[in-house]
Structure 1
Amino acid sequence: MSIEVITHPALAGAAHGFLGRRGGVSTGIHAGLNVGWGSEDDPAATAENRRRATAAVLPGATLVCAYQVHSADVVVVDQPWDEADRPRGDALVTNRPGVLLGILTADCAPVLFHDPHAGVIGAAHAGWRGAIDGVTDRTVEAMEALGADRAAIAAVVGPCIGQKSYEVDAAFEARFVEQDDANERFFRPGKAGHAWFDLPGYVAHRLHAFGVGVVGMLDEDTYAQPERFFSFRRATHAGEPGYGREISLIGLG
């Protein structure tokens, strides 16, 4: 099975792709294109999956990833680093050709950014914690420091857990509503003491509110599509001992 590379027209000026689990060599619960070193998969399979992912989006590029910690921290990539020495952070920005920025997810929202006029790209990992703490805002600011104009930036929210699959408790909802009463619109009432949270909608809202010029969404629910995507929550609900990670990529040729 070939790798599925999902693209969006708003990012057409950059090599990019939101990849799922199709086309990899991992087996078992990690079956497919698992790229997560922390997934307890066979390291050789993970390395091969990363090689295939890179070749599918920008052949010859150097893949660069951060050690993701659910923060709002952004790393500027001046040159590639060894995987063992990757810095902590949840977003990457660069203006260097031949560097392929990679964000790993398994329900959290990957967001890819491109300012085609300035030649600046970014990639962010927006789980609920990073999203509410402003990881997308910080990514835009880091791109501006490299010469980007937020009004010229296109950002696309990739495959992540959808509202119909994301049940949260009242304390979770209260955290968002306390930040802004208007955030109530991203929660649909559920059973007593619970609600259904629209993570991609909230992330897209943050991008619009921060002045990003073009905001796109893929509307692909990772939880609901086991044949296409890995999902932490789905694996947890199934009682599986681990889960794979998919990768979203963007680079300048």
Structure 2
Amino acid sequence: MSNPEVIRAATLAGVPHGFLGRRGGVSSGIHAGLNVGLGSEDAAEVVAENRRRATEAVLPGAQLVTLFQVHSAEAVAVTQPFEQAGRPHADALVTDRPGLALGILTADCAPVLLADREAGVVGAAHAGWKGAIGGVTDSTLAAMEQLGARRERIAAAVGPCIARASYEVDRTFVDRFTEADPENERFFTDTREGHAQFDLEAYVVHRLASAGVRRIEALGLDTYADPERFFSYRRATHRGEADYGRQIAIIGLE
């Protein structure tokens, strides 16, 4: 069995991290590959093995910590692993403790990994449209600062997510963003009547930059358009599949 594919960002060089997709896992069928979704209908022991493989590929020997993600702007500081059943309902984690692998699950939403090397503080955020407009990246930065990070030193990377070309939304969706800030119009391209295409990745980068992050890398990888490499909720829905896998982004400290 091949090893998991670990996609890394230059902005986070020197910090153990990786964005993982489908490659190198043991799931089969519609979940084929490295499905790490506890909420999927995949076999629990298979998901557990995929999660183990993903962690070992990024930070060998670390303990994986994930959340019960709810598309919120909530960020939590992690000092030790929590039981699977007791996972906080939140969408970002931060830590200054070595040996913890912070994991964010996605299947079109944008995974964001962050680090202040000097302070020894890392963070991971799940930024779907709802969390992104709600300020999940702002919450993550604030939580990192509570641990001694400084936002002008924080480097960030936005991993594989659904791209503008694959992400059509309706006018109500557009209005939600333009009412929050008229300049958000630039993240949309009009398509057919009453619809537009949304650039989630660019919006998340904008939110990070507006909050004072100076070094940001966007990987520009479209989860929807690359079924061999990534899971996609929207693609699974369009294909009428009964369920979908989730991929993971991980960051930690040696």
TM-score interval for Structure 1 and Structure 2 normalised by the shorter chain = over 0.9
Distance in 1 between residues matched to 2:72 and 2:87, nearest whole Å: 15
Within 1, Cα distance between the matches of 2:84 and 2:23? 23
SS of equivalent residue, structure 2 residue 197? strand
Give 3-state SS (helix, strand or coil) of 2:152's partner.
Answer: helix
Q: Report 1:63-74 matches (<5 A).
A: 63-74=64-75
- Once the two structures are TM-superposed, the CA of residue 9 in structure 1 deviates from its matched residue by 1.1
Task: Give matches, 1:1-253, under 5 Å.
Answer: 1-253=2-254
Structure 1: distance between partners of 2:182 and 2:72: 23
Counterpart residue type for residue 64 of structure 1: V
Q: CA deviation at 1:213?
A: 2.2
Q: Which amino acid aligns with 2:157?
A: V
CA distance in 1, matches of 2:194, 2:214: 37
Percent same amino acid at aligned positions?
65
CA offsets 1:38-59 (integer angstroms, 9 cap, x no match)? 1110111000000000100000
How far off its partner does 1:82 sit?
A: 1.2
CA deviations over 1:147-178 (Å, ceiling 9, x no partner): 00000000100000000000000000000000
SS in 1 for 2:17: strand
In 1: Cα distance, 2:52 partner to 2:249 partner:
14
Letter aligned with residue 22 of structure 2: R
- 1:57-86 CA-partner distances (Å, limit 9, x unpaired): 000000000100000000110111111211
The CA deviation at 1:229 is: 0.2
Question: What secondary structure sits across from 1:93 in the alignment?
Answer: strand
Write the deviation string for residues 8-59 of structure 1: whole angstroms up to 9, x where unpaired.
1110121000000000000000000000011110111000000000100000
Q: Which amino acid aligns with 1:100?
A: A
- Tell me the TM-score normalised to structure 1 length: 0.99
Q: How many residues matched? A: 253
TM-score where L is the length of structure 2: 0.99
The alignment's C-alpha RMSD in Å is 0.5
SS at match of 1:150: coil
Distance 2:3 2:56 in 1: 12
Displacement of 1:2 after TM fit?
2.3
CA distance in 1, matches of 2:120, 2:33: 33
1-structure distance, mates of 2:168, 2:214:
31
SS at match of 2:39: helix
